[in-house]
Amino acid sequence: MMHYSNWLIGVKNRASIRNACKTPNIEEDSRGHPVEMQKKNPSTNRKASELTLAFGISLWKKGYKIIKKIGEGTFSEVVKTQSVKDGKFYACKTMKQTITSLEQANNLREVQAMKRLSPHTNIIQLHELIFDKESGTLSLICELMDMNMYEFIQGRQSPVPENTIKQYMYQLCKSLEHMHRCGIFHRDVKPENILIKQDTLKLGDFGSCRSVHSKPPHTEYISTRWYRAPECLLTDGYYSLKMDIWSTGCVFFEIFSLNPLFPGSNELDQIAKIHDVLGTPEVSVLQKFKQSRAMCFDFPPKKGSGISRLIPNCPAPALSLLYQMLAYDPDERISAQMALQHTYFREIRLAEKKSESLMRTIEAVEAGDTGKMPHSIEHIWRPARIGKQVRGRHSRQTSLLSHSIKHGTEPLMRRNIPHYAAELPKLNMVVPGPQVSYQAATVPPHAGVHRNSLPAISTKKCHSRLAKPRDESHRAGLKAYYMPPLDRKRGGY
């Protein structure tokens, strides 16, 4: 423990010296959320209230009226507003930071990130940007959601249904996959920043986001402590987008158990709680973190209790995904793209494919009705069954429209089928006439014994023993056929 204390003191001393002139004086609340110390100053509170009043007037001039206050963070305040024009409700996020120009407002990371990431189903959409030049305040008018994930979990007595958890986690992974693919990582994924409206989940609050192409070291004091990845705790800002996956794993556990996974009271306690569950990492893993520390990590060896003991009713696929999200080594941690392909989300992926296929079919039908398709879809035919019916039997043919609606898993655009007429052409077949018997030569049996040679066969006139022909008039035109004698050559034929 002495090594822990010395290490923590050294980290805090270096961090305080380095960030004294960069960031405001900040402390944390019981949940590990950053809280500005300046809020304790009465004069600062009066100034903030004056700015809020001035901005409320400017919002009214822009066509919005304030309904009520929703929440407040370290750097912003969120209120519920209503548009005077159409009566729709929005969430108005007002920055506490003073802005000097509209150009500076557009250059903010949060504004740029929201513009780059929109539109997306699981990302909060920016509706309008309002800048008040007189007060120097900036406000982001965004879509309004019902609640955040923390409000959804807080005070809940019964566990969340498994299907609801699966849907929410799939949408959260989709939002992170979209962000990371666009070159941005969030850096502050937590229940308070995950917004919910009925069955839809959206990620918000991009004030801490950063480009994935930016070189470390990054800001050390980032993310909320309970959801902070080990690389954020043990290094001088050497972390990457995988920190979002760690935070997502913590949120995943919290939805299942309704309790936080690593509720550390400080950085030292946070590391200890992680090791209590996951165990002390191997030396090779700690060597990766050592590159940014001028000290050695002397952690006492400890075998973690494991996550499965904390949530015994968790299904095996969910537990597998949870362990991959909470891998101590960020290089071994699963990515957002691979998380979407996990077995845990298999049913959701199949349902999405069926829905997309059905939508494409409907769009194709609508395009055919408006004349955009070269041929009507009613004239497209295809075999409905394949296999046994093809062997020696004509396969039943059905319309592709009814088959596509019944079997939505096969997209219409993938079928490269030519267009055929609805009716097959008639076949000209030659019907044979009545069967007639003809005279043929026959060989009668020859009685007698022969020695290594066959006797000569004399030709005889023979008639067939078949049934009499139906039409006797054909007998006149029949000819008699005779078989010539066979010459023997050297005792054979």
Given a contact cutoff of 8 angstroms between Cβ atoms, the answer to whether 129 and 106 are in contact is yes
| Catalytic residue IDs | 188
Please give the structure tokens belonging to residue 387: 């296999």
Torsion angle (degrees, nearest 10) of CA 232, 235, 240, 242: -50
Q: What is the 3-state secondary structure (H, E, C) of 307-348?
A: CCCCCCCCCHHHHHHHHHHCCCCCCCCCCHHHHHCCHHHHHH
| Three-state SS at 44 | helix
Q: What is the DSSP letter of 183?
A: T
CA 115-118-120 angle, to 5 degrees, is 165
Q: Is 479 annotated as a binding residue?
A: no
Please give the structure tokens belonging to residue 362: 């409907």
How far is the C-alpha of 475 from the C-alpha of 482, rounded, in Å?
Answer: 17
Q: What is the DSSP letter of 127?
A: E
How far is the C-alpha of 423 from the C-alpha of 426, rounded, in Å?
Answer: 9
Please give the structure tokens belonging to residue 98: 């003073």
The Cβ of residue 190 has, within 10 Å, a number of other Cβ atoms equal to 26
The Cβ of residue 122 has, within 10 Å, a number of other Cβ atoms equal to 21
**CB under 8 Å to 399, separation ≥6 — which residues?**
378, 380, 381
Q: Where are the alpha helices (DSSP H) in 203-315?
A: 230-234, 242-257, 267-278, 283-289
Question: Given CA atoms 182, 184, 185, 189 in this order, what sign does their dihedral have?
Answer: negative
Given a contact cutoff of 8 angstroms between Cβ atoms, the answer to whether 80 and 71 are in contact is no
- Give binding residues for ATP as ranges: 93
Annotated binding site: 93
